Amino acid sequence: MMPPRKRAQVTFASAVVLLFLSGLSTYLTIVRLLESQKWVVHSYEVQAALGNVDSMALEAGRARSGYALTGNADASNQFETAVLHIDQALLHLRELTKDNPEQQNLCTRLEALTASRVAVLRESIELKKSSPQDEPGQADLSRRGLAIAADITSTMQQMRDEEQRLLDVRAGVSNHLFILAVVVLMITFILALILFSLHYKLLTAELDAHEQAELAVRESERSLRTLTGRLLQLQDEERRRFSRELHDSLGQYLAAVKMNLDMFSNSQPSDRLLAEAMHLLDQSIA
């Protein structure tokens, strides 16, 4: 069985690895999310560019109408300026849609139709300059311009529909990636929290085991001191008891022997051996 310290180390290492992997996956998801958001913005830019082309075309048409009504040179200058802006807007639109072949084809068609309409509008201005009273000619040019404008509107609507389709797809992918990033973060946080909680429990259990071991050691030391004190007390009591026994029993016996010898010596003539025995007996009593 794995020791508690080893389990705690493995749990902590697993939590760190999990956080690293989840951080990496979150980073990759966010990178993809930002990329998807970039394409969403790109679709909006294409839609804005289409609106700019349409706006410049309307501006050119208003300038032509103004010149046809008034013959004012300022209206003619406004027309040429609007045509220049149309060319710039179409160039920007082509640059934005270069990643989409279908949009590039529609862009080519739009450029051709716009060039045709500009040519008709310019022809109308030139007709106004050369024949100010040629109303039938202006009416014919207007009809031609309206037919071309209808084709331009249809082509631009196709481009808008395509960009809207792409926008819906890209927005869906972006939302999916956003949800995925949130889910990854939540799962990572929960798993990391569980692993760190387990690591904390293992460390707590290890600390509790150390405390229990220290308590057991202290209890053993206390028991040992108590036992040592008791042994010393028993030894002292044994010495005291032995001393009492020596004093109470053997001492009395020796004293009785001495008394008997004293009585015997008083009744018998002096004897060296008896005197020596009395001397040894006095030493033994002492």
> Does residue 226 form part of some domain?
no
- What is the rounded average pLDDT for all residues in the chain? 82
> Does residue 277 form part of some domain?
no
- Residue 68 CA to residue 66 CA, distance in Å, equals 5
Task: Supply the pLDDT for residue 92.
Answer: 93
The string of DSSP letters for 144-159 reads HHHHHHHHHHHHHHHH
Locate tokens 């792409």: which residue? 166
Question: Does residue 28 surpass a pLDDT of 90?
Answer: no
Cα four-point dihedral sign 55, 56, 59, 64: negative
Higher pLDDT, 163 or 260: 163
pLDDT tens per residue across span 55-86: 988 898 888 888 878 778 888 888 889 999 99
Distance set, CA 281 to CA 104, 252, 255 (Å): 140, 12, 9
* Helix 272-285 and helix 251-267, axial crossing angle in degrees, nearest 10: 160
Burial (0-12, 13-18, 19+ Cβ within 10 Å), 100:
middle
How does residue 1 score in pLDDT terms, banded at 50, 70 and 90? Answer: low
The string of DSSP letters for 63-131 reads HHHHHHHH--HHHHHHHHHHHHHHHHHHHHHHHHTTT-HHHHHHHHHHHHHHHHHHHHHHHHHHHHHH-
Contact 173, 49 (CB under 8 A): no
> Does residue 267 form part of some domain?
no
Contact 79, 64 (CB under 8 A): yes
How does residue 213 score in pLDDT terms, banded at 50, 70 and 90? Answer: confident
> Does residue 176 form part of some domain?
yes
> Does residue 111 form part of some domain?
yes
Task: Supply the pLDDT for residue 257.
Answer: 72
Higher pLDDT, 185 or 48: 48
Q: Averaged over 6-18, what is the pLDDT?
A: 73
- Radius of gyration in angstroms for the set of CA atoms belonging to the chain, rounded to a whole number: 58
- Residue 52 CA to residue 41 CA, distance in Å, equals 16
Q: Averaged over 251-267, what is the pLDDT?
A: 70
Contact 61, 223 (CB under 8 A): no
How does residue 271 score in pLDDT terms, banded at 50, 70 and 90? Answer: low
How does residue 116 score in pLDDT terms, banded at 50, 70 and 90? Answer: very high
Contact 63, 85 (CB under 8 A): no
- Residue 39 CA to residue 173 CA, distance in Å, equals 10
> Residue 130 is part of a domain; what is its CATH number?
1.20.120.1730
Locate tokens 């909680």: which residue? 197
Question: Does residue 205 surpass a pLDDT of 90?
Answer: no
> Does residue 261 form part of some domain?
no
- Residue 47 CA to residue 162 CA, distance in Å, equals 10
Answer whether 0.75 is exceeded by the pTM.
no
Residues 6+ apart with CB under 8 A from 277: 261
The total domain count for the chain is: 1
Distance set, CA 272 to CA 6, 185, 278, 279 (Å): 89, 115, 10, 11
Locate tokens 């106004």: which residue? 128
> Does residue 101 form part of some domain?
yes
How does residue 161 score in pLDDT terms, banded at 50, 70 and 90? Answer: very high
Residues 6+ apart with CB under 8 A from 14: 195
> Does residue 105 form part of some domain?
yes
Domain range for residue 27? Answer: 4-200
- Residue 239 CA to residue 164 CA, distance in Å, equals 110
Q: Averaged over 93-119, what is the pLDDT?
A: 91
- Residue 206 CA to residue 12 CA, distance in Å, equals 14
Task: Supply the pLDDT for residue 112.
Answer: 94
